[in-house]
Amino acid sequence: MRKLKRVFGLISLVAIVVSSMTGCGNKGKTTSGDSSSAETIKIAVAGPMTGDNAEYGIGFTNAAKMMADEWNKKGGVLGKQIKIVQYDDKNSSEEAATIAQKIVSEGDIAGVIGHFSSGVCLTAAPIYQENKLVEISPSASHPDYSLVGDYIFRNNTVISAEAAASIDIAVNDLGKKKIGIISIKTDWGTNTSKIIKELVEKLGIDGVSIVAHEEVVEGSDDYSPAITKLNQAGADVVICAGMYNLVAPVAKQYKQINPDIKVVGFSNSYSQQLIELGGLAIEGVCFPVIFFSESKDEKIKNYVSAFEKEFGNKPSALTSQAYDSVGMLLSAIEKAGSTDKEAVRNALAEVDYEGVTGQTKFDENGNVNKQFVKVTIQGGKFVKMN
Amino acid sequence: MIGQQIFNGLTLGMCYALLAVGYSLVFGILRLVNFSHGSIYAFGAHTALLLVSMNLGIVPAVLLSLVFTGLLGVLIDKTALEPLRKKNSIPIASLITTIGISNIIQNLLTVFFGSEKKAFPALFNFGVISIGNIQITWTQICICIVSLGLMLLLVLVVKKTKIGLAMRGCEQNPKAANLMGVNVNFVISFTFFLGGVSAAIAGALISGYYQIVYPNMGYMAGLKAFAAAVLGGIGSIPGALVGGLLVGVSESMAATFLGSTYRDCMAFVILIIVLIVRPNGLFGKKGITKV
């Protein structure tokens, strides 16, 4: 009994310490916010700043800061300076719900850029919708996301469009017929693989079929059991529904067994890390993207070199989509002439924005349509496919 | 296909076995499950990566990382666990401390190395051998050989050397061992050193196999290795080997017949069954009452 009491004592002590610490954190944040809210317009960037997918959240923040700087140099928006406020949701739905509550309760945030993965966005979006705060996700591609409400936008294509582009690469560009799918077991991954299957069935090209589908748990580094099964089923092209941290190891482990296998990915694997992680094995991996940093376009060239100078690496597709998202939000605020939530939403729905990820206009659901560029890896570099 | 899957499982199992040995060594002496072992393993892999990137050459880099990781084990013992032992605190306090240490190491790795997955140079990359329709890479064979060699070495250290005698003495009764002139704290630190070294070897081998390193890599692997250690009888080195292999093979069988999504739960299903049916594990000694 005494032991039990001591354990309880310990637990309650820990609880008190933790709660008092978080209390302090909150206080610090609000006081610093109050001092500057009068003359600045605040935009929240929410995403994983620590943990497994931190590079995406940090990319979002960097892009947002860069866009805000550009506007601030021109005198800001509505005569006020723009301030980017960073929120860390660790790419977890539980954290995101708390963060979203926090953002809406701040009261002076003009709009939210984020969150990162579709599942997390789907948890946070209803909170923004309920409080009528505009959210633009640079990355969510789950069909259900923008259906949450009229304040919810995305600057990314819906996954069905991208899946069609990936299948197009596998079937038409690579000329393969036996498709294997490896997908991560998340809401997004499961849904994407379902969409791929439906699309292939609908296409109905003679001889093209899905020979096997394996779901894997994200972060299990050993994919050999799944690969063995795909190989046994005779797949000659594998569509990987996952990020670079799935595509690189799958390509590596698959090529040890079958050096002729072709791997097709999605735009979220477009990251310098894919090349660093994949080495020689990811040569020839293809995927569709809506932003390509090696593009010859003058505007994109300037943006890429400015970004590289500032942060030391080339912007990924999702980072650039975040960059444009901030631009769209700011133009909407400018057009609305105030940070009134409803006015901003209405202006944003009308915005026709010429950005680095192409001409962007939201449809009635808050989705965008974009042109895909087919990219492959040759000699350790991303190049455009012919 | 089943032959291939069994071999995939055996390689994976060897990796788990290497990690499970670390749990067993520490548990054998302190009756303490060292939950920071998974993070120590991640630390070993990161140190090896850092040293490799300093152009030391892969073999010296890995050897140096073994020493550093071993020292980390000693450091953990000296700073966090020894003070608790001196105060005779309840065993659960040490257990929770190891969980805390695990978080500290993991987050420090994230701060210094970043959270993204990093590439690790391939070890023993000599190509593929085909036996019938089974394809075996040299990496897999080398992992098995190195793991077996290491376990043999550890068994020899424990059974044949003087320090091993002291370790076994401490295992049976620390107080009596102390009265016989054994420096118990030194023996415990040495055990932590060995645990750290085995974790670093596992880290280097596994990272060389999958060619991926990241701060959270030790979390799942650590828990599965713990299940393997319990299955084999925690505290026993041959038990860790057999437990690791069984967990690895059953995982890859689960992936074959039930789907890849079920593989992660296999280790824990085994853990639960073992705890119900044979709590001492396959090779465990009877009469362990302390937890």
pLDDT of residue B105: 94
Q: How far apart are the C-alpha atoms of B239 and B274, rounded to whole Å?
A: 13
Instruction: Answer whether residue A278 is part of any domain.
Output: yes
Instruction: Answer whether residue A3 is part of any domain.
Output: no
pLDDT of residue A12: 55
Which residues from B are below 8 Å from A181, CB to CB? Answer: none
**DSSP structure string for A277-339:** HHGGGGTT-EEEES--TT---HHHHHHHHHHHHHHSS---HHHHHHHHHHHHHHHHHHHHTS-
A232 vs B1, B214, B263: nearest CB = B1
Domain boundaries, chain B: 1-217
Structure tokens that stand for A209 in this block:
């079929």
Reduced to 3 states (helix: H, G, I; strand: E, B; else coil), residue A359 is strand
The per-residue pLDDT for range A148-188, each reduced to its tens digit, is 999 999 999 999 999 999 999 999 999 999 999 999 988 88
Are residues A66 and A106 located together in one domain of the fold?
yes
Distances from the Cα of B213 to the Cα of A5, A48, A222, B236, angstroms: 42, 19, 13, 29
Give yes or no for a contact between A159 and A189, defined as CB atoms under 8 angstroms apart.
no
A279 vs B119, B217, B255: nearest CB = B119
Which residues from B are below 8 Å from A13, CB to CB? Answer: none
Nearest residue on chain A to B254, alpha-carbon basis: A225
SS3 content of chain A, % helix, strand, coil (to 5): 50, 20, 30
In a mutagenesis test of the A interface, which of B99, B261, B266, B268 is the best target, namely the one with the most A β-carbons within 10 Å?
B261
Are residues A102 and A174 located together in one domain of the fold?
no
Are residues A151 and A171 located together in one domain of the fold?
no
In a mutagenesis test of the A interface, which of B87, B211, B263 is the best target, namely the one with the most A β-carbons within 10 Å?
B211
H or E segment to which residue A111 belongs: strand A109-114
Instruction: Answer whether residue A265 is part of any domain.
Output: yes
The verdict on A275 touching B (C-beta cutoff 8 Å) is no
Judging by beta carbons within 10 Å of its beta carbon (0-12, 13-18, 19+), is residue B27 exposed, middle or buried?
buried
Q: Which has more confidence, B131 or A304?
A: A304
B116 vs A6, A229, A273: nearest CB = A273
Q: How far apart are the C-alpha atoms of B79 and A239, rounded to whole Å?
A: 49
Are residues A282 and A330 located together in one domain of the fold?
no
A54 vs B8, B12, B115: nearest CB = B115
Alpha-carbon distance A83 to nearest alpha carbon in chain B (angstroms): 25
pLDDT of residue B287: 55
Q: Which domain holds residue A144?
A: 41-157+297-370
Are residues A284 and A350 located together in one domain of the fold?
no
In a mutagenesis test of the B interface, which of A214, A222, A229 is the best target, namely the one with the most B β-carbons within 10 Å?
A222
Are residues A145 and A195 located together in one domain of the fold?
no
Residue A3: φ, ψ to 5°: -60, -45
% of chain A exceeding 70 in pLDDT: 90
Instruction: Name A179's bridge partners.
Output: A210, A237
Say if residue A115 is preceded by a cis peptide, omega within 30 of 0: yes
pLDDT of residue A15: 53
Q: How many CB atoms lie within 10 A of CB A176?
A: 19
Last residue of a domain, one of A228, A257, A289: A289
Domain count along chain A: 2
The verdict on A226 touching B (C-beta cutoff 8 Å) is yes
Instruction: Answer whether residue A378 is part of any domain.
Output: no
Instruction: Answer whether residue A363 is part of any domain.
Output: yes
Alpha-carbon distance A372 to nearest alpha carbon in chain B (angstroms): 27
Contact A276 B137 (CB under 8 A): no
Are residues A191 and A218 located together in one domain of the fold?
yes
A257 vs B118, B135, B212: nearest CB = B135
Contact B260 A215 (CB under 8 A): yes
Smallest Cα–Cα separation from A257: which of B86, B140, B87? B140
Last residue of a domain, one of A267, A289, A311: A289
CA dihedral A191, A196, A201, A206 (to 10 degrees): -170
Alpha-carbon distance B220 to nearest alpha carbon in chain A (angstroms): 8
Are residues A148 and A174 located together in one domain of the fold?
no
Reduced to 3 states (helix: H, G, I; strand: E, B; else coil), residue B118 is strand
Last residue of a domain, one of A272, A289, A306: A289
Q: How far apart are the C-alpha atoms of A226 and A214, rounded to whole Å?
A: 6
Instruction: Answer whether residue A36 is part of any domain.
Output: no
Instruction: Answer whether residue A22 is part of any domain.
Output: no
DSSP state of A210: E
Residue A16: pLDDT over 60: no
Nearest residue on chain B to A251, alpha-carbon basis: B210
Residue A37: pLDDT over 60: no
pLDDT tens per residue across all 291 residues of chain B: 788 888 889 988 998 998 999 999 898 888 889 999 999 999 999 999 999 989 888 889 999 999 999 999 999 999 999 999 889 888 899 999 999 999 999 989 988 888 778 888 888 877 788 887 788 888 888 889 999 998 999 999 989 999 999 998 988 888 899 999 999 999 999 999 999 999 999 999 888 888 889 988 998 899 999 999 999 988 888 899 999 999 999 998 988 888 877 888 888 999 999 989 888 888 876 655 544
Residue A25: pLDDT over 60: no
Instruction: Answer whether residue A376 is part of any domain.
Output: no
pLDDT of residue A11: 57
Are residues A180 and A277 located together in one domain of the fold?
yes
Q: How far apart are the C-alpha atoms of B34 and A376, rounded to whole Å?
A: 46
Contact A225 B217 (CB under 8 A): no
Which residues from B are below 8 Å from A255, CB to CB? Answer: none
Residue A183: φ, ψ to 5°: -130, 150
Half-sphere exposure in the Cβ direction for B77 (13 Å, CA): 25
The single residue listed with the structure tokens 């992992």 is: B143
Its ipTM equals: 0.77
Q: Which whole number is the average pLDDT over A231-245?
A: 91
Contact B210 A222 (CB under 8 A): yes
pLDDT of residue A7: 55
Give yes or no for a contact between A183 and A212, defined as CB atoms under 8 angstroms apart.
no
B263 vs A225, A273, A279: nearest CB = A225
Are residues A271 and A167 located together in one domain of the fold?
yes
Which residues from B are below 8 Å from A248, CB to CB? Answer: 117, 119, 212
- For residue A169, give the CATH number of its domain: 3.40.50.2300
Which residues from A are below 8 Å from B135, CB to CB? Answer: 256-257
H or E segment to which residue A375 belongs: strand A373-378
Which residues from B are below 8 Å from A229, CB to CB? Answer: 1, 255-256
SS3 annotation, A27-90? HHHHHHHHHHCCCEEEEEEEECCCCCCHHHHHHHHHHHHHHHHHHHHCCCECCEEEEEEEEECC
